[in-house]
Amino acid sequence: MEIKVLGSGCPNCKRLLANVEAAVKELGIKADIRYVTDFMDIVNAGIMHTPGLIVDDQIVSTGRVINVEDIKRLLK
């Protein structure tokens, strides 16, 4: 599983990254988690509002910080 958190490095983006890491750890799954901060990579991924969350090349969230429980539901 590949998970990308896309953002500028703002506190909300970092909070989403931490929530993703916690969800993956709690579920005990293997995932390649990448934090993408390059503006062009974010735009090319189709994210217009950060933070963005992409799971296996599918955009699952933009413009908000999802909590750990919601991320776990997305990843199951």
How far apart (Å, rounded) are the C-alpha atoms in residues 40 and 68?
27
Tell me the domains of the chain and their CATH numbers: 2-75 (3.40.30.10)
Q: What 8-state DSSP symbol labels residue 10? A: -
Q: What are phi and psi of 47, to 5 degrees?
A: -90, 120
Residue 54: beta bridge partners? 4, 59
4 — pLDDT class (breaks 50, 70, 90): very high
Q: Residue 63: its pLDDT value, please?
A: 96
DSSP symbols for 12-61: HHHHHHHHHHHHHHHHT---EEEEE--HHHHHHTT--SSSEEEETTEEEE
Active-site residue set:
10, 13
> Tens of pLDDT along 21-74?
999 999 999 999 999 999 999 999 999 999 999 999 999 999 999 999 999 999
pTM recorded for the entire structure: 0.94
